Amino acid sequence: MTNEIRVRYAPSPTGHLHIGNARTALFNYLYARHLGGKFIIRIEDTDEKRNVAGGEQSQMEYLKWLGIEWDESVDVGGDYGPYRQMERLDLYQQYIDELLDKNLAYKCYVTEEELEAEREAQRARGEVPKYSGAHRDLTEEQIKQFEAEGRQPSIRIRVPEGVTYKFNDLVRGEITFESNDFGDWVIAKKNGTPTYNFAVAVDDYLMKITDVLRGEEHISNTPKQMMVYDALGWEAPRFGHMALILNEQRKKLSKRDEHILQFIGQYEKLGYLPEALFNFITLLGWSPVGEEEIFTDEQLIEIFDPSRLSSSPAVFDPQKLKWINNQYVKASSLDRIVDLSLPHLVEAGRLAEDMSEDQRAWARELISLYQEQLNYAAEIVELTELFFKEEIDYDEEAMAVLKEEQVPEVLETYSAKLDELEAFEPDAIKKAVKAVQKETGHKGKKLFMPIRVATTGQTHGPELPNAIHLLGKETVQKRLKNAVEQLQA
């Protein structure tokens, strides 16, 4: 095995980049970068029936969006290609032939119907179903007979008897399997395509993969891959199996969990920041030293310690993701947040696509009011709703404020002070509030809250003078007048 650390992420192009797959890629990337090794992406596309158009492109696109870079793959090449399994069929066949020649594998002509009947009989006897080895030692005559019937053989590896497969998992410590628990399993299907466990073992060896980090659902695949390594006289890589990701109900995260967004592309469309997702996903099953939870990509590469990978399931907490993303939004430049938010306001019909410079400047100022509280860009539509309403429907909390006895005096006086302003700017608007205080004697919540509620319909919100400025004098005066009329009705 090479001294250089080499790890891989090996997606199947059967769908878009999922949270679980993104975590696998991310941990492999951090592992390689932390240890000065190489990160390889290999496309495992042998299950052609399940492959989807654009699946490979989507995987690569969203890995790049997350900030993950690789050293070898279909797009950048490398010394150990091809990097798509369907382009490596000749390589697999070479090792299938070697195992057949050494009598470490054999042709099996059992049909699917015969296999199912065998499994049913085993279940009826209370046994765990496994291949019985019915065609392990066929005679030449039997083989000729099956071929004369038109049967196509699969290729099965001979599983040795009485062997204990043991490996020291990077996450879980020592794990053992007994070979007697396995029947001879298929390494090449009837159509000649290699099966997953065979192709993976061959690829990992030929690509000089030193460490295999993957989800715990692959633990049961490991002994089969070790059988291939042993049969071909190869040294196995080190294995590490990451814990499951659970939802908030502590059930395995499933693509059917509709209350949790499953795909990285969905987060991009909502206006999450890639570095926030990078940070959040890293904390799903790995923990840094100390209490800090916000890190740059570079910091995570520096501090990533594989010994801190957890063997306990990680819980996907959407609220924590929002909190982490909000930290990044607050730290970002306003220009970046404007660029993320504007498309959502346009899509909602709040702003025109072809805005004038003045309209764009207004929109920029509007978004700046909410940057501190924005969890992700799409929230800007709901947060800014008050700026696009013709009329305000006051809720119970707002009406309670407006029904206080001093409110008509405060609103009418404030309306008069706004009429006197030469420039409808935040500083002047703020001074008008102070002038109302001086004239009426009302101050604090008795003064500010009625003005906020009457102009915005909300009891909480952005800096009031800035909000009033953006609403514009005509809208504000209309809302003040309507509020007074409702109180007098």
Tokens of 299: 């910091």
Distance from C-alpha of 341 to C-alpha of 348, rounded to nearest angstrom: 11
Angle at 84 between CA 82 and CA 88, to 5 degrees: 60
Q: How many angstroms separate the first and last alpha carbons of the chain?
A: 86
Comparing C-alpha atoms, which of 24, 41, 43 is closest to residue 216? 24
Helix/strand/coil for 45: coil
For the chain, counts of helices (H) and of strands (E): 20, 11
Tokens of 132: 């019985």
Distance from C-alpha of 8 to C-alpha of 24, rounded to nearest angstrom: 9
Check if 255 is active-site: yes
Phi, psi of 18, rounded to the nearest 5 degrees:
-100, 155
307, 240 contact by CB (below 8 A): no
Phi, psi of 320, rounded to the nearest 5 degrees:
-65, -40
Amino acid letter, 43: I
Per annotation, catalytic residue among 64, 251, 255, 443: 255
356, 326 contact by CB (below 8 A): no
* DSSP letter, residue 379: G
Distance from C-alpha of 465 to C-alpha of 296, rounded to nearest angstrom: 35
Query: Which residues have a catalytic role annotated?
Result: 255
